[in-house]
Amino acid sequence: MTVASASEIAERYQRIREEVGDGVTVVAATKYVSLEDMGALAEAGVEVVGENRAQDLLAKHDRYGDVFRWHFIGHLQSNKVKVVNPICELVHSLASDSAARRLETSALLEVNLTGEESKSGVGPSDVAELVERYPLVRGLMTMPPLTADPEQSRPHFRRLRQLAQELDLPALSMGTSQDYRVAVEEGATLVRIGEVLFRASSSDVPRH
Ligand SMILES: *Cc1c(COP(=O)(O)O)cnc(C)c1O
């Protein structure tokens, strides 16, 4: 992905932070951002980044270290937990018992609310037991089915919030570029935003 200029990213980041308010953490979802381009995010003042792959996390953390706070938002294989543990303050995508047993950092359980087979995540009926068993679980995360209409995500976000409330879990990671406003209305405490935060738009292309 071609990323926008640092000043453009800074502007968008401030705008999004104002929209979501102080109580919501904006996590920059950086899976499509190259090692080099992470520098523009740093320059723009982005504080929290979420990576999807352990290899990328390792490489980017090696290079940027304490410049960012690191989250993990991708599919977490249990043999990669040891990579994530010392780097990440939060894993959003805990979805298996075998990963949970190895985990040494705070986590959110990824919940598959709709039973879509292409998605990871635990079923809603398994959440309570896992929360009980693993005290490092602080909240829940979900990825609703892809849709062009953000309103379609609202019932899923609402259901996740109700699940979290029933279990006294304070953290809710929900909402991406297209539906983060709806997610915040439904109680998100973390939003994971990629595209709209840093993808270069055609208007960024320099004209001669
Ligand atoms: C890529 C990704 C996002 C961000 O999606 P955008 O549409 O780029 O905002 C959020 N969450 C997860 C788990 C992702 O993989």
pLDDT band at 129 (very low <50, low <70, confident <90, very high): very high
Arch. (CATH architecture) of 6-198? Alpha-Beta Barrel (3.20)
How far, in Å, from the CA of 63 to the mean position of ligand 1?
A: 22
- Output the CA–CA distances (angstroms, integers) from residue 11 to 166, 199, 207, in the order listed: 38, 13, 21
**Phi-psi group of 145: left, alpha or beta (phi > 0 → left; psi -120 to 50 → alpha; rest → beta):** beta
CA 126 to centroid of ligand 1, rounded, Å: 24
Q: Whose CA is nearest to atom 12 of ligand 1?
A: 73
- Alpha carbon of 111 to ligand 1 centroid (Å): 15
Sorted by where each begins, the domain ranges of the chain are: 6-198
Supply the mean pLDDT for the chain.
Answer: 96
**Residue 207's pLDDT band (cuts 50, 70, 90):** very low
Predicted structure pTM score: 0.96
By the 8 A CB rule, do 36 and 201 touch?
A: no
Q: Is 15's pLDDT higher than 80?
A: yes
The ligand 1 atom at the shortest distance from the C-alpha of residue 180 is: 9
